[in-house]
Structure 1
Amino acid sequence: MKGRTIVLDHIDDREAAALMVDGKLEDFLIVGDAPAPGTIYRARADRPVKGQGGMFLTTPDGPAFLRQVKGLSPGALMLVQVSGYAEPGKALPVTDRVLFKSRFAIVTPDAPGLNISRSIRDEDERDRLLEIAHECMDGSSYGLILRSSCAGEDAGEIAEDINAMLAHADQVINDPETEPELLLEGDGPHVLAWRDWTDPAEVVTQAGGFDTHGVLDALDVARGVSEPLPGGGHLYIQPTRALIAVDVNTGADTSLAAGTKANFACAKALARALRVRGLGGQITVDLAPMPKKDRRGFESALRAALKADPIETTMAGWTPLGHFELQRKRARIPLSEVLK
């Protein structure tokens, strides 16, 4: 099946969303048991962690951990936002840089100024969007970022989106209570799909859509260890307590260039394979044998694939044993935790 299809459905009563591109599962979102990223709390500072520059906080949903705190005393109240998923048994990761994000607009209470996505390069379009932004933000001390999805969209819809985020921001920032409290829940999979998958696509909302559009079959592959590569090779992806181990296998190809071809295929496929599995943290890739002169090309291919990936990933580099390491944000709930 050619083209882009967004499928909104449920699995075991859990809300979920799938993005299929040319019949292949490109992205997958599912609600978990932990608070979703984007959730905002009024939290109380509990105790500092010496040597790590962080602070444990108290929230209604359990302990949270805030990094890089300065001048924060135990007992102080502050607004924080969940920034990712915690490993089992660990505190919620949070940030004090609270954002209010929607399909077209991001309101930034702590960063004043009006900004347009750099991917919108047409000067006339940028001027049009700035006029909308100035009109909506007149008199507000908050900052605003208009996302790339604004390009060519109706001015009324953009303004409505901005005003909705401003209303959320005002409600949260000006809340008068003085106890730890959940102030705003993070978006669920269906809202996230509307918010972030903005390229033109067919949208399927009928029950059973995952079955009829091949999502369940693709999830069976994603729940396994092996991920097929073009050319007959495979990735073997195995989460451990310490890290995500990825092994590149050339398959039946025994040519001299087999390792290089499999590694370049890995560079293009790795981000998607990790994304649909919901995996993040430290990642170590055991590549197939290839000449050292091909390492630069592998890095370039991997960098290009990660640039198109919505999840922040840092390329740490090569180890003395020839492995390649990455650090990836835990932005998704692992499939293994929600689909048994």
Structure 2
Amino acid sequence: MIGRIVVLDELYGRPAAALIVDGQLQDLLVDPEGDDALPGAIYRCVADRLMKGQGGVFVKLPQGSGFLRQTSGIAPGARLLVQVTGPSEAGKAVPVTTRLLFKSRYAIVTPGAPGRNISRRIKDEDVRAELEALAENGMKGASETLGLILRSACEGVDALDIAQDIAAMRDLAEAVLADTNGGPELLVEGAGAQETAWRDWADPAPDEVITGGFEDLGVLEMIDAVLDPRVELQGAGHMMIEPTRALLAVDVNTGGDTTPAAGLKANIAAARDLPRQLRLRGLGGQIVVDFAPMPKRDRAVLDQVLRAAFKGESAETSLVGWTTLGLYELVRKRDRLALADVLGAEAQEGTA
């Protein structure tokens, strides 16, 4: 399979989407089971208990509670508009923020962050000028507090489609921002797997969109490989990716390669594939990598490879660096549930 292919199907009866680039699985989204709040959902909530020691406040949602990392200017009983920022772990409050984003395929409306911005990835000055005109026209008469971002997927798209997208996101934002009275209520549903794929995998545009192709295209086998802790690397090496309660442990091994450069080769291969593996597995938090033995002088090379590998990642990642024991630490934002948790017992049966 050559090219960029989006596959929409179901996995264990739940909507799912896979992004395959040149035959390799690059991203996978699966709707969780049940009524869990999806990232991006917007709620009207009521402030409950201030937790100053934790730097936040619990808020009442229609079902359960959320945790907002903010206390300034918030009093118990206050009505707030919040957006879910990520998945909630079992038994914990849903993480939310008051910084709302109204995202679609081409436009993002940003309340509280005024301005008209065009994606930096669009370099053509004529195209940028046309998009700036569309942005100004689409936001004419809107509140000065409403900002707009036009995404890189706008390049090469009909102006009418972009204008309609801007209008839809602006209307939605204005309606939600005006709806502050009443008790806890869901105002905007979070995007499911297939909607997120349509919205976020548009740049670059896929060469093909296939419905119902998981089995025919071998996606099910690719998913089985993702659920395996062992990842084969280019060459003779491999790495083991194993979550614990406290952190995520990654161990890189050279396998049968005993040449002097074996350690560096395996480590470079692991560093290049690590962002994809974390994305597919839905893993984040504190991550500790035990790279294969190599001379200290080679760490600078590996640092460059890691920075390049994580540069284009949508999930916020902080490359902390080397510890005294020679381990490498990084922190990745949890932007989705772990794939093994989403699939649950069904995944265990599939890999047994």
The answer to whether structure 1 residue 247 and structure 2 residue 251 are counterparts is yes
Report the Cα offset of residue 150 of structure 1.
Answer: 1.0
Identity %: 55
Q: What amino acid does structure 2 have at the position aligned with 1:126?
A: R
The TM-score, its normalising length taken from structure 1, stands at 0.97
**2:300, 2:164 → 1: CA distance?**
46
Counterpart of 1:201 in structure 2 is 206
Q: What amino acid does structure 2 have at the position aligned with 1:195?
A: R
Counterpart of 2:45 in structure 1 is 43
CA-to-partner distance for each residue in 1:280-333, whole Å, 9 max, x for gaps?
A: 111111110111111111111111111122211111111111111111111112
| SS of residue paired to 2:214 | helix
Counterpart of 2:234 in structure 1 is 230
Query: Do the aligned partners of 2:61 and 2:185 also contact (CA within 8 Å) in 1?
Result: yes
Query: Do the aligned partners of 1:111 and 1:143 also contact (CA within 8 Å) in 2?
Result: yes
Report the Cα offset of residue 98 of structure 1.
Answer: 0.3
The answer to whether structure 1 residue 303 and structure 2 residue 307 are counterparts is yes
Q: What amino acid does structure 2 have at the position aligned with 1:272?
A: R
Of residues 87, 98, 108, the one that matches 1:85 is 87
Query: Do the aligned partners of 1:30 and 1:333 also contact (CA within 8 Å) in 2?
Result: no
| SS of residue paired to 1:161 | helix
Query: Do the aligned partners of 2:5 and 2:210 also contact (CA within 8 Å) in 1?
Result: no
Counterpart of 1:163 in structure 2 is 167
Q: What amino acid does structure 2 have at the position aligned with 1:118?
A: R
| SS of residue paired to 1:237 | strand
Alignment of structure 1 residues 69-218 onto 2, 5 Å: 69-141=71-143, 142-175=146-179, 177-198=181-202, 199-207=204-212, 209-218=213-222
Report the Cα offset of residue 103 of structure 1.
Answer: 1.0
Query: Do the aligned partners of 1:105 and 1:147 also contact (CA within 8 Å) in 2?
Result: yes
Query: Do the aligned partners of 2:65 and 2:93 also contact (CA within 8 Å) in 1?
Result: yes
| SS of residue paired to 1:211 | coil
Report the Cα offset of residue 176 of structure 1.
Answer: 5.0
Number of paired residues?
A: 339
Alignment of structure 1 residues 328-339 onto 2, 5 Å: 328-339=332-343
Report the Cα offset of residue 93 of structure 1.
Answer: 0.8
**1:89, 1:18 → 2: CA distance?**
29
Give the CA RMSD over aligned residues: 1.2
**1:204, 1:154 → 2: CA distance?**
20
Contiguous gaps of at least 5 residues in structure 1: none
Structure 1 residue runs of 4 or more that deviate by more than 3 Å after TM superposition: 202-206
The TM-score, its normalising length taken from structure 2, stands at 0.94
| SS of residue paired to 1:246 | strand
Query: Do the aligned partners of 2:52 and 2:71 also contact (CA within 8 Å) in 1?
Result: no
Counterpart of 2:16 in structure 1 is 16
Counterpart of 2:350 in structure 1 is none
Counterpart of 1:273 in structure 2 is 277
**1:249, 1:117 → 2: CA distance?**
40
Q: What amino acid does structure 2 have at the position aligned with 1:263?
A: N
Of residues 34, 50, 58, the one that matches 2:60 is 58
Report the Cα offset of residue 74 of structure 1.
Answer: 1.0
Contiguous gaps of at least 5 residues in structure 2: 348-352
**2:154, 2:292 → 1: CA distance?**
43
Q: What amino acid does structure 2 have at the position aligned with 1:258?
A: A
**1:6, 1:165 → 2: CA distance?**
24
